[in-house]
Amino acid sequence: MSRRPGPRSDREDVRGDILTAARALFASRGFKGTTMRAVAEGAGVDVALVPYYFGNKDGLFAAALELPVDPHQKIDEVFAAGLDGIGERIVRTVGSILDDPTTGPALLGLMRSALSEDTGHEVIRDFIDSVIIGSYARHLHRPDARARASLAATQIIGMVLARRVVGIEPVASMSVDELAAHVGPTIQRYLAGDLP
């Protein structure tokens, strides 16, 4: 009797171990600096298992962008209380996602790769467009919803880059409360205030 091709392992979730290692490496090294071999070493598996599960680095990167939380659900939760205070709630939610040891590395990998000249750009644009901008716009119910959502997204992306990718002080060391107080009103204006 012949066995089906593929890995044999006594571990329950080899694919999950590879994704965990990939998210950490994409977060610290970006797309270009992450190799299949380094991911395999980080996951403690044979390098042949990485392409077995994901095909190539682009496939691995796309899979790694699937955050361990449903971003649409998180956004729905933030908007559930209405538009009053939405700016601060968004900053606090993004802050908690960044601080989480599972979701933080995935989001940082997305941001680092956005700065590089790699094939991940299309995946990143699709993620930002459909998940962040699309979800925000869906909750605004106004003709300029997409423009407002795009402006809010620029603040969020900028905040994440300044805080965790580039490390601009004092933003990098501010508490989430301080960030919410400083950045929240700008996001609030973009989503619910008067625009020129």
Q: How many CB atoms lie within 10 A of CB 86?
A: 22
Question: Backbone phi, then psi, for 172, in 5-degree steps?
Answer: -60, -30
From-to residues of CATH 1.10.10.60 in the chain: 14-64
Q: What is the DSSP string of 7-59?
A: ---SSS-HHHHHHHHHHHHHHHHHHHH--HHHHHHHHTS-TTHHHHHHSSHHH
Residue-wise pLDDT tens digits, 62-88: 788 776 667 778 899 999 999 999 999
Model-level pTM? 0.70
For domain 71-192, give the CATH number. Answer: 1.10.357.10
Residue-by-residue pLDDT tens, the chain, 196 positions: 433 444 545 556 899 999 999 988 887 777 778 899 999 999 999 999 999 999 988 788 778 877 666 777 889 999 999 999 999 999 999 999 888 887 788 778 767 766 665 555 666 777 788 788 999 999 999 999 999 999 999 999 899 989 988 899 999 999 999 999 999 999 999 999 999 8
CATH architecture, domain 14-64: Orthogonal Bundle (1.10)
From-to residues of CATH 1.10.357.10 in the chain: 71-192
Give the pair of three-digit tokens for residue 116.
């590089």
Question: Backbone phi, then psi, for 134, in 5-degree steps?
Answer: -60, -45
